[in-house]
Amino acid sequence: MKRPVFFAFALAATCALIPTAVVGPSLAATTKGPAAGKTVKVGVIADVTGSAAVYGVQQKDAYELANDDLKSGLLDAGGANLSFDVEDAASDGNQVANLFQKFTTDGTALILGPTLSGEARKGDPIAVAAKTAVVGTSTTADGITSLGPCVFRVSLSEAQVVPATVAHTKAVWKYKTAAIIYGDDNAFTKTDGDIFKTQLEKAGVSIVDTETFHVGDKDFAASLTKIKAAKPDVIVLGALAEEAEKIIQQASTLGIKTHMMGGNGLNSTKIYDYAGPAAAGVVVGAAWSINGNYTGNKSFVERFKKRYGVEPDQFGAQAYAAAQLVAQLVKEGKATKDEMCPALRELRVAQTVLGPIAFDPGRDVSAAPVILQIEKGGFAYFH
Amino acid sequence: MVGQQLVNGLFLGAVYALFAIGYTLVFGVLDILNLAHAAIFMLAAFATWSLLGAGLPFWLAAPIAIAGAGVLGIVLDRIAFAPLRRRAAPNLIPLISSIGMAIIFGAIARGIYGPDERQFALAFLQTPPLHAGPLTFTIVQLVILGSAIAFMLGLAWVMRATALGRAIRAVAEDRVAAALLGIDLERTIGATFFIASALGGLAGILTALQYNSVQIDMGGQIELKGLAVIVLGGMGSITGAVIGGFVIGMVETLAVAFGLSEWRDAISYGVMFLILIVRPTGLFGKRSLRTA
């Protein structure tokens, strides 16, 4: 079940061996910074297999693209031999802990990941004890950055995304009642459901029905029938893409035409690929837009599509943003484990595919959420 | 709303029932749990997806995948069960052996298809839902319900009225006596695995159609429910598997309907325990585990 990522290993090893100067014509000028010639290894922990693989594979793909971009000069690390070493956590908490042990003892300068918030709760304390900085790229549950003084994340938490989503949709849709359906056995979806509930109540919306499901469920007919009978003005989904797409599809089958909205978990092309016309109109509060004009985003989306045959989703984009952030730090001369945590704390701004990002005093990312709406098989800004 | 919830429960139960029929058939004959049943369920769905991708029409792709699942069942028996049977291994050993095969099948599927969910691009899945008064359902749901009932009746007929059925029942009753009476044990067991796995494959394809979703872990989610179904229905009883499937499907749906969605699974297993307290052999189970 646990498949080591030999390809990533080989790629990382190749990156370390080949000086950037001898690899092809550079598309962007590689500069000589204070860390020129130094080798900087960044450990990536991602669920490439197992139940969270739909997110982890995007992350692995983004880092492999970043490794290529470092070689070609599209990503500038100031002449340092920077590489991202992607290891598969196989959606298994014990494997996550093992990989944290490995990366905290093998000269790794910084750890990126893991994929899920629950995994971060298990693995991050190991990095904290070893004084290795961790940057989460997809951990959005409450309290992750409180795990230690060097735990950061570039992913906007639900606590940052949901208030904007509620405010924006309420202004446009003018709803008074809502029903919530969320997964109660996953740190992300549970947090999502709780925060939506709090924010809706704060906005004076009454919750007429709350339904729960388990991650991996496929049949939502019973819950949706109950929601339909409660006649809410809006339905809130605290879900990841795989469940959300089925909820949207099955709601449509049951004749439910109510407005729907959700958080980061719904920011995936899978939603409209799967649910088709049923997904039209669904609003998604998110950290990234595939149509965004930020640094390198258009090029990232195009090259990702060309290389892997699928569009990147938010998980891929956030991983690539972390790679851009790390490249910037290395370019500034930060190359060792001891230099990374203070450098992240003092970071003023990093230009990424998510837009300009920095960290607040609580080590959460400061960035503006985007409110998107699914239209004709794509995401558009919600107005 | 209650009417729609009963319909929801009926359709969910049909999926459980179809899955559990094959599960219970193997148990009835061999007294072992074949935990690779869920892997075959998943592989048949992927095989159908691949055959459709290769340009075959659905009416051809599905039967090929179902027959393939049946053949895979025979292969499974030859590799995981037959050698242990010859050595008269205790019942726990083939159980572990079947888990091993499930893991191998899963690894093969993951190697070929990767972790992503696949969907069928079939026109009939896009047909609008049907309405009967306040009730809403899809054609695929009707097909699943029809299949569960048809295959239960068909299997009951095979077991009662054909030579193969009589042989299977004889082997289930007493393997040694059946062999003394001239029944070819290995062929009968092979046929049992073929039928059980083909039904598992059919269940996999229909489940994938119902949710338009083919996934590596689709079997794991139904496997535990399947166990609850056959225990509740009575281990080895085909009627029990079908009724048990509908009971679990209905209990789950009604738990949600009564506002207890977070207790859904606990309630369905609670009902299973209650039934077992009243009837330790399950609803239709005739015998307890053999003691000698």
Provide, rounded to the nearest whole percent, the portion of chain A with pLDDT above 90.
64
Give me B283's structure tokens.
Answer: 């609803």
Residue A21 is predicted with a pLDDT of 35
Nearest-Cα distance to chain B for A315, in Å, is 14
pLDDT band for A19, please (50, 70, 90 cuts): very low
Reported as a single tens digit per residue, the pLDDT across B139-166 is 888 888 898 888 888 988 998 899 999 9
Is it the case that residue A209 has pLDDT exceeding 90?
A: yes
- Closest Cα in chain A to B140: A253
Does B257 sit within 8 Å of A216, measured CB to CB? no
Q: What is the largest CA-CA distance in chain B?
A: 60
Q: pLDDT grade, residue A1 (50/70/90)?
A: very low
Given a cut of 60, whether residue A382 has pLDDT beyond it is yes
Helices (H), chain B: 2-30, 37-53, 58-76, 82-86, 92-113, 139-161, 163-173, 175-180, 185-211, 218-233, 238-257, 264-278
Query: Does A50 sit within 8 Å of B115, measured CB to CB?
Result: yes
Residues 176-215 of B with CB under 8 A from A: 207, 211-213
Kindly determine whether residue A225 and residue B257, on different chains, have CB atoms separated by under 8 Å.
yes
Tens digit of pLDDT for each residue in A164-202? 999 999 999 999 999 999 999 888 899 889 999 999 999
Distance CA B91, CA A253 (A): 45
Is A87:A99 a contact under the CB 8 Å cutoff? yes
B154 close contact with A: CB closer than 8 A? no
Domain residue limits, chain B: 14-220
Among B27, B129, B28, B34, CA closest to B80: B34
- B190 has pLDDT over 80: yes
Residues of A in contact with B265 (CB under 8 A): 214
Cα-trace Rg, chain B: 19
Provide the total of helices (H) and of strands (E) in chain A, helices listed first: 12, 15
Report whether pLDDT(B290) > 60.
no
- Reply yes or no: is the peptide bond before residue A114 cis, omega within 30 of 0: yes
Q: What is the pLDDT of residue A24?
A: 32
Q: Confidence band (pLDDT; 50, 70, 90) for A337? A: very high
Distance CA B190, CA B30 (A): 11
Residues of A with CB under 8 A from a CB of B: 1, 48-51, 53-54, 57, 184, 211-214, 216-219, 221-223, 225-226, 228-229, 242, 246, 249, 253-255, 270, 273-274, 276
Question: What is the pLDDT averaged over residues A131-149?
Answer: 91
Which residues are CB-neighbours of B209 under 8 A, at least 6 positions away? Answer: B120, B122, B125, B140, B143, B144
The highest-confidence range among A13-22, A306-315, A317-326, by mean pLDDT, is A317-326
User: What pTM does this model have?
Assistant: 0.79
Highest mean pLDDT among A139-153, A185-199, B37-51, B101-115: B37-51
3-state SS class at B203: helix
Percent of the residues in chain A that have a pLDDT greater than 70, as a whole number: 92
Under 8 Å between Cβ of A283 and A169? yes
Q: What is the pLDDT of residue B141?
A: 86
Q: Which of the four pLDDT bands, split at 50, 70 and 90, describes residue B287?
A: low
pLDDT of residue A29: 53
Helix (H) or strand (E) holding A337: helix A337-346
**AA identity, residue A36:** A
Most confident of the ranges A56-70, A182-196, B130-144, B181-195: A56-70
Q: Chain B partners of A50 at a C-beta cutoff of 8 Å? A: 115
* Average pLDDT value over all residues in chain A: 88
